[in-house]
Structure 1
Amino acid sequence: MDDVAGRYWGEVGQHHAGSTDTWRDVERLVDYFTPTKLLTEISDDDVTRLVAWRRGHRVVRSKKHKAESPLVSNATVNRSTTEVLKKLFTRAKKNWGVRFENEPDWKSHLLPEPQERIRELVGDEWEKLEGATRDDYVPFLTFARASGLRLRECLLRWPEVDWDARQIRKLGKGKKLVTVPITPTIRGILWPLRGQHAEHVFTYVAARTRAGRVKGKRYPLTYSGVKIAWRRLRAKAGVTDFRFHDIRHDVGTKLLRETGNLKLVQKALNHSDLKTTTRYAHVLEDEVATAMERVAKSRAKSRKPAREAS
């Protein structure tokens, strides 16, 4: 396991957008199975016990409140444990020539997950969020809503912004190229930020001098920093049950409601599979009902003259 983890990290893991998470997840597997455990010895029974062990873990929010935290979700167990172990097996088979006589049946170990909910902003929720946002975070927040990008994808660097081509290009989820047109709205957000930082587009102003930062100077926004700021912002705004990722869902639902075009929404959200985009199809229910009613009335009109003639 120790050798497998090291090779996987060197060849693949360290290059992930969320490499810190990859390191943690792989290290957890090594600790559980022990460094000397052979990958070829891991059976279905071993994976079953692994999943049961992982399900007993709690979400770690802080050391102080660790015992009070909820248990990790089925999705977390699947993504951070079962699927990570499967990736080690896949890498060993395809790239290292390892043969498994009794590879675990991965599908049987995946826990059921509820269908992802689609939450959009309603009423004055956006105004509340915007009003509670620090001035130095406003460009980042408005860009997230204007682009529909994932949080990590919103953390732009200037070389990824092509003013001449009017396009943003960067590696996104799964190391796939994500492209976003620089619309007049997005240009209005990004253009004033030039000169604030040589490399990073979005920055914040340090509120105090500590941890190597100097009060009043600008520093790049980070994934973890945005997550912390988002929790505080949401609480201050009084907007509940709304994750940062739901900004992307809000963009998708409103775009589909405006256009009625699933393929267009797929392109805008950079979905590789149209099936992913169909999660937003519920917003078309009213339009479908209206269209069906028009068809029914049209048929009724076409039958009426025939009855009158008889």
Structure 2
Amino acid sequence: MLGLLGSGYAVEGHMVPANDRNSATFDPGFDMGDGHMVPTRRKPGRRALLDGNFARRKLPLRETEYCIWDTELAGFGLRVRPTGNYYWFVRLRHRCKHRRITLGRSDELAAELARAQARRLLAEVALDGLPKRAVVKATPILSDFVDTYWDDLSRVWKASTTKRNWNAWKTVIAPAFGAMRVADILPADIHRWRDDCAGTREGLFNRALPVLAALLKYAEALRLRRKGSNPCRGMPRYKREPKERYLTPTEYRRIGAALREQEAAYPAQVALTRLLLFTGARVGEILNLRWEWVQPPRLLLPDSKTGAKTIWLNSQALEVLEGIERHEDTSLVFPNRARTRPLNFDNWWLPFRARCALPDVRVHDLRHSFASTAIMDNVPLATIGRLLGHVLPETTAKYAHLSDDVIGDAADRIAGSLAQAIGLRP
């Protein structure tokens, strides 16, 4: 039963004795002072337990709106308007300013939800100024982020770099980390990945690790990871035996004989192989060679693995170039039959090396053998580095052990001559 009792307001099931602190005539008020919200006495008001049953009651209307305050949650109330609409609201004081925030109409917002919203707002005010945990927004998964990385950075890569990085991503990185969020990849995950690659995919891991490290470094630059959190930092690569293979004089003779046999049927491939032997150039540098870059006594390459490069031509290399047929419809020195791109050298090299009984010799080993021959002829390492186009001296330093062998042999020859001179050896 609903009725008015003096200045109080009574609802059946909700009314408590008048003038009591829990009665409908008690209004706590809100006095923040210099701190946060503190309920205090103020002018008489109406109080009740504001729940769904109460909000569904037909409350008396007045010419002006009035408020009913909750008996449990200070600041939570129900506003009754002359139009007959009821509105949940919360009254709070933040930084010396009173605010009354409407939460919604009682017939559209359940009492429990309104109370929860009011409690959350009051808690936010009470905690204002206290240290907060940084809000970390969800980061994209790596398979989505790689598109951003590729679009932003691949424009400055060489075609070979793009191909190599994409193969590393597709074959090794994506299966292991593609579904993980960028910020969730930890050093422990990298260690597990390294262990999974042990034995069968160690080389793939070594090539893919710097690609993943660059991906996560770019994520740091975009603030998708905490700065300095790259889990690839300090991760050791697998130690692998070097693949350098040096041709012996006997093997050189076998290659020379096989080239003479193949010259009539495959003149371009034979000429290309001889240029590789005589210059120590990389196979890609000779395959993509154009006639306008041939400026004896040198080849002036506008681009290579290490940027613009000069390849010095000796008399044998010049003789090879003079014997190559030129084509009017292409500037390539070694075009394919359609004259649209360089010829496919691998298709010829694989059966050729088998013909020479050298199944383990790679095309790049011709470059290593050029350097080893120079070492045997006492050419200084610095000069060899210039001939090979090395930017850093450390790159040429890997041939230093060959130089030590030459010095050791020279020391043995000198000692033998001295021993013979003093009569220790006949």
Task: Report the TM-score when normalising by structure 2.
Answer: 0.55
Q: Which residue of 1 aligns with 2:148?
A: 7
Cα deviation, residue 78, structure 1: 0.3
Moved more, 182-191 or 254-263: 182-191
CA–CA separation in structure 1 for the residues paired with 2:320 and 2:413: 43
Q: Tell me which amino acid in the other structure corresponds to 1:255.
A: A
Secondary structure in structure 2 of the residue aligned to 1:108: coil
- CA distance 1:166–1:242, change in 2 (3 Å): closer
2:421 corresponds to 1:290 = no
User: Deviation string for 1:20-68 (max 9, x for gaps)?
Assistant: 2322222342343235x33222111111222233447xxxxxxxxxxxx
Structure 2: give runs of 5+ residues left out of the alignment: 1-141, 422-426
* Higher RCO, 1 vs 2 (CA within 8 Å, ≥6 residues apart): 1
Q: Which residue of 2 aligns with 1:65?
A: none
Query: RMSD of the TM alignment (CA)?
Result: 3.1
Contact 1:168–1:180 under 8 Å retained in 2: yes
Higher helix share: 1
Q: Which residue of 2 aligns with 1:62?
A: none
CA–CA separation in structure 2 for the residues paired with 1:283 and 1:240: 24
Secondary structure in structure 1 of the residue aligned to 2:310: strand
CA–CA separation in structure 1 for the residues paired with 2:214 and 2:292: 30
CA–CA separation in structure 1 for the residues paired with 2:302 and 2:247: 26
Cα deviation, residue 165, structure 1: 7.6
Cα deviation, residue 132, structure 1: 5.5
CA–CA separation in structure 1 for the residues paired with 2:289 and 2:409: 45
CA–CA separation in structure 2 for the residues paired with 1:2 and 1:293: 62
Cα deviation, residue 245, structure 1: 0.6
- CA distance 1:290–1:158, change in 2 (3 Å): closer
Higher Rg of the two aligned structures: 2
Q: Which residue of 2 aligns with 1:188?
A: 319
Cα deviation, residue 296, structure 1: 11
Contact 2:217–2:230 under 8 Å retained in 1: no
- CA distance 1:48–1:148, change in 2 (3 Å): same
**Match among 161, 177, 181 for residue 33 of structure 1:** 177
Number of aligned pairs? 267
2:384 corresponds to 1:265 = yes
Contact 2:292–2:331 under 8 Å retained in 1: no
User: Deviation string for 1:83-137 (max 9, x for gaps)?
Assistant: 21112123444x5455345321543341112244342243123224424542231
Q: Which residue of 2 aligns with 1:16?
A: 158
Q: Which residue of 2 aligns with 1:64?
A: none
- CA distance 1:186–1:4, change in 2 (3 Å): farther
Cα deviation, residue 218, structure 1: 4.9
Secondary structure in structure 1 of the residue aligned to 2:230: coil
Q: Tell me which amino acid in the other structure corresponds to 2:275.
A: F
Q: Which residue of 1 aligns with 2:273?
A: 141
Secondary structure in structure 1 of the residue aligned to 2:150: helix
Moved more, 279-288 or 253-262: 279-288
Any residues of structure 2 matched to 1:202-217 within 5 Å, and which? Answer: 202-205=334-337
Cα deviation, residue 219, structure 1: 5.4
**Match among 219, 227, 235 for residue 354 of structure 2:** 235
Any residues of structure 2 matched to 1:37-56 within 5 Å, and which? Answer: 37-55=180-198
User: Deviation string for 1:139-198 (max 9, x for gaps)?
Assistant: 21111112211222222242661427843214222x522221244433333343432651
Q: Which residue of 2 aligns with 1:278?
A: 397
Q: Which residue of 2 aligns with 1:307?
A: none
CA–CA separation in structure 2 for the residues paired with 1:265 and 1:256: 8
Structure 1: give runs of 5+ residues left out of the alignment: 57-70, 206-216, 302-310
Secondary structure in structure 2 of the residue aligned to 1:12: helix
Q: Tell me which amino acid in the other structure corresponds to 2:268.
A: D
Cα deviation, residue 266, structure 1: 0.8
Secondary structure in structure 2 of the residue aligned to 1:180: strand
- CA distance 1:252–1:244, change in 2 (3 Å): same
CA–CA separation in structure 1 for the residues paired with 2:296 and 2:409: 44
CA–CA separation in structure 2 for the residues paired with 1:145 and 1:111: 31
CA–CA separation in structure 2 for the residues paired with 1:121 and 1:221: 30
2:309 corresponds to 1:178 = yes
User: Deviation string for 1:224-243 (max 9, x for gaps)?
Assistant: x3223221111122223211
CA–CA separation in structure 1 for the residues paired with 2:406 and 2:196: 45
CA–CA separation in structure 1 for the residues paired with 2:269 and 2:387: 24
Q: Which residue of 1 aligns with 2:246?
A: 119
CA–CA separation in structure 2 for the residues paired with 1:161 and 1:115: 33
Percent identity over the alignment?
19
CA–CA separation in structure 1 for the residues paired with 2:390 and 2:398: 11
Task: Report the TM-score when normalising by structure 1.
Answer: 0.73
